[in-house]
Structure 1
Amino acid sequence: MIQRFIELGEGYGDLFELIELAKTNHHRLHHAYVFQAPYQGSIRKSFAVAFKPAGSVPFIPIYICREGIEEKAPISGREQAFLEAMEELHITPVQLKVKHSSEYGSTVHHYQALIAILRLNHLLPPLS
Structure 2
Amino acid sequence: MIQQFIELGQGYGDIYELCELIKTNEERLHNAFIFTANNEGKMVASIAVAFKPVGESKFMPIYICREGIPFNEEKPSKRIEIFQEAVAATGKQESIFEIKHSSIFSETKLFYQYVIGILRLNHYIPPMQ
Q: TM-score, normalised by structure 1?
A: 0.97
Deviation at 1:91, TM superposition (A): 1.1
Q: 1:11 deviation in Å?
A: 4.0
Distance in 2, Cα, partners of 1:59 & 1:84: 26
Q: How does 1:1-128 map to 2 (within 5 A)?
A: 1-72=1-72, 73-128=74-129
CA deviations on 1:66-110 (whole Å, 9 max, x unpaired) are: 000001352211111111111111111010000000010111000
Tell me, in whole angstroms, the C-alpha distance in 2 between the residues paired with 1:13 and 1:100.
23
Cα RMSD after superposing both structures: 0.9
Q: How many residues align?
A: 128
- Checking the alignment, whether the CA contact within 8 Å between 1:12 and 1:69 is kept in structure 2 is no
For the 8 Å contact 1:12–1:68, the answer to whether it is kept is no
Q: How big is the shift at 1:13?
A: 1.6
Distance in 1 of aligned mates of 2:25 and 2:128: 23
Query: Would the aligned equivalents of 1:45 and 1:69 in 2 still touch at CA under 8 Å?
Result: yes
User: Distance between the aligned counterparts of 1:13 and 1:98, measured in 2?
Assistant: 25
Q: For 1:23-56, what per-residue CA distance to the aligned partner results, in whole angstroms no more than 9, with x for missing partners?
A: 1000000000000000011111000000000000
Unaligned 5+ runs, structure 1: none
- Offset, 1:12: 2.7
Moved over 6 A (4+): none
- AA paired with 2:58? P
**TM-score where L is the length of structure 2:** 0.96
**CA–CA distance in structure 1, aligned partners of residues 35 and 2 of structure 2:** 21
Identity %: 51
SS in 2 for 1:55: coil
Verify the 8 A CA contact 1:11 1:46 in the aligned structure 2. no
